[in-house]
Structure 1
């Protein structure tokens, strides 16, 4: 019965990632379990001028799903912000004070709910003290983003909604979906030998070797990791740019020829062609293979994925994304799964 149960876990439907949208100066996303996040971005497409208050703070908000799901509001402050109380306010008279910890203001419960209510009608969320403003986040689009969360979590018309309020009780809000469970193979044992002849053959067949033609010195080394179950992961270097390093993933079984690794969801949302990882890393402690593709050097846009090996393919356990290159380093989660060791 245990074998059948684990087989059912590995044959689950392909991941359907949650939606991600942009509204004005905010990006919002909900994952497959209806946990929702929204984050502030620059008000315009270009970076604010030096010294602008819009380039000094970043605001991140999340809300748990279900009838009792509440808000968490985090405001990242500039470095060396000190330990004195900081005031968060809007131009409509709302204000709340708190002491930062590690350059971060964090609000939950009733305080977070008060900030959310003030955002709906405000123009800017301001950070500073009674006499000066050191940073601001534009609230343009924040109401639409909150309304999006209301709809995704089934709160429209209920007392728990942030914007689309109604008379229905909290009990009318649906319970959150259960996270999918993915059975994975523990990465134990020794990695198989990846020979120089195998490297030369892969460089030729994948055309990854041609990327480095004309360069000086030796080719970048390939990473080799034991996956368990007699399988070995080979991460073959396949080119690089200013801030992204591409890798072709292969599976090696004993003395057989390496074969391209399979994924249930392509890294970086690649629709066609051989799948590649970007800025790849493998953590043998938890069996996670990660890919992190930056849209530009400062890392304010791109996509990231994490996978585990189920014995036949890599299965997605986390996906994050930021489609707008407008100052936010808070990429939003669109997929989560619980990895269960076999």
Structure 2
């Protein structure tokens, strides 16, 4: 994720019901935009290479901030073993130079602009050491279509700011940066309710989870979330790399299945939200779900929520629908929690 783009959000707005942004796959690139039109595209291992288990050596991403002045960012993440001076080349032509440190490199401004301009008509992007040796690569098949998708989603098509769909309209024709929505959040406080066998039995009945699934993990515990309420994550099945739980909110000893303004990606029954590899951060007051589509972690989705006193509210969602080597899951929703 190119975190620098988050600096470009405007003042927060009134919270809408979450409507995640769109995502697409074009050839060997996945692309998505979030709810305030911050967009990012990331390279995938080419289909013929993915079939034989090849490693491209790095993943490459292009992101663009929203608004008339929104610029490009180019980021690469290597698979290790690359450090120091490098060059980014397209079809063998050196476009820009840079330095890889801590297995990554981020370029902005003119350097990123030059890369994007060359990508639109290129076939192969490579990362080369100073002496010219290639250490990573990506197919550019679909990259022009992904850039055109960003042009359309950010309403740049037909303007001088477009990457591909250029036109005569001035930058002022591009809509201004949209405001991030605000989400009410309360601090975790109080003492968690004791999770008794009788409470677990009631929750199991309400959730529809099998007895053996509930008993497959360690002791079930609760977390105080404020207002005399306790969050309990009831185990409800596990696989090789995903552990499912049904979230309950317990008040005065009575459990109810937790409510969400935007449900997690998995369910065990109609209307029953299921979190995967769930994590509760009491300090930040955040509940996370991270569901991997396969063990490598190169595809799946994640959601992060805060508690507003009555339901869990979505503040971030990411996804990667293609299992082709990219661990850079793309952001499709963001909101700012406010206490």
Aligned: 1:42 with 2:45: yes
- Looking at structure 1, the residues matched to 332 and 189 of structure 2 have their Cα atoms a distance apart, in angstroms, of 30
Q: Taking structure 1 as reference, are residues 296 and 122 closer, same or farther at Cα in structure 2, changes over 3 Å only?
A: same
Contact kept? 1:158, 1:170, Cα under 8 Å: yes
Whether the aligned pair in 2 keeps the contact of 1:45 and 1:326 (CA below 8 Å) is: no
The aligned residue for residue 112 of structure 1 is 112
**Normalising by structure 2, what TM-score?**
0.90
User: CA offsets per residue over residues 39-92 of structure 1, 9 Å max, x none?
Assistant: 000110762646x5x521100121100011111111112312132x11110116
Query: Which of the pair is proportionally richer in strand?
Result: 2
Q: Which residue does the alignment assign to 1:325?
A: 323
Instruction: Rate the CA distance shift 1:188–1:104 in 2: closer, same or farther, 3 A.
Output: same
Distance 1:233 1:179, change over 3 A: same
Q: Is the 8 A contact 1:48 1:55 kept in 2?
A: no
Distance, in Å, in 2 between the alignment partners of 1:185 and 1:253 is 16
Contact 2:231–2:247 (CA under 8 A) maintained in structure 1? yes
Give runs of aligned pairs for residues 287-298 of structure 1, distance below 5 A. 287-298=285-296
Number of positions where the alignment pairs a residue of Structure 1 with one of Structure 2: 325
Residue in 1 that maps onto 2:81: 80
Residues 1:252 and 2:250 aligned together: yes
Aligned match of 1:172? 173
1:280 to 274, 278, 281: 278
| Structure 2: 5+ residue stretches without partners | 1-12
- Residue aligned with 2:45, SS: coil
User: 2: CA distance between counterparts of 1:251 and 1:178?
Assistant: 31
| Deviation per residue, 1:158-198 (Å, 9 max, x gap) | 11111011122211111122111011121112112222221
Which one of the candidate residues 261, 282, 294 is aligned to 1:264? 261
Root mean square deviation of aligned Cα: 2.0
Change (3 A) 1:331 1:223: farther
What's the offset of the Cα at 1:267? 0.2
Aligned-pair distance for 1:266?
1.0
* Runs of 4+ more than 2 Å apart: 45-50, 92-95, 129-132, 200-213, 218-221, 269-273
Indicate the residue corresponding to 2:8 in structure 1.
none
- 2-structure distance, mates of 1:175, 1:95: 31
Cα separation, 2, equivalents of 1:211 and 1:24 = 44
Stretches of structure 1 lacking an aligned partner (at least 5 in a row):
1-7
Equivalent in the alignment of 1:192? 193
Cα drift, residue 203 of structure 1: 2.8
What residue is the counterpart of 1:27 in the other structure?
Answer: 30
